Amino acid sequence: MTIDEKFINGTYKVYKKMFSQKVFYTPLVEAVVDPIYDEFAKVVYGIPIPLVAKVSLSLTFDSVPPKDQKFTSDFHFPFKSLRDNGVDVLDHANHKKIQQGYLTYKDINYTIMAIEPLTFIGDSFIVWSFKCVERK
């Protein structure tokens, strides 16, 4: 086992023990675009995938009426949780496809706005950040 793999496994264990929160990633399986309106006419999502994560939520307050306030969030996933569940973040080309799915935390769905690597050890990113906004 390489030193990178030891850090990946160790980080996963720490996140699972300290931050283990039920976050589900639901991938987009199929989207049919209406040729006239250029909108999704049909959207099919896959089965939600449970992931280990650390969640940071904040509520928007900047001159927004209370009914329009949304949570913004930063979900930190250990790489092992993503890799072992088939969420391929290493290939940047997959990020757009991953962003077409959504995350669910405490019965609130979140649109994935950006995917960024956070922690780099050796030759591996061991923690990934998904920047999200609440779906309304």
For 5-49, what is each residue's pLDDT tens digit? 888 899 999 989 888 778 999 998 876 666 666 666 667 889 999
Q: What is the per-residue pLDDT for 22?
A: 85
Tokens of 119: 């922690």
pLDDT value of residue 40: 60
**pLDDT class for 65, splitting at 50, 70, 90?**
low
d(CA 17, CA 81): 13
The whole-model pTM stands at 0.83
The CB-side HSE value for 107 (13 A sphere, CA atoms) comes to 0
3-state secondary structure of 5: helix
The pLDDT tens digits for 98-116 are 999 999 999 999 999 999 9
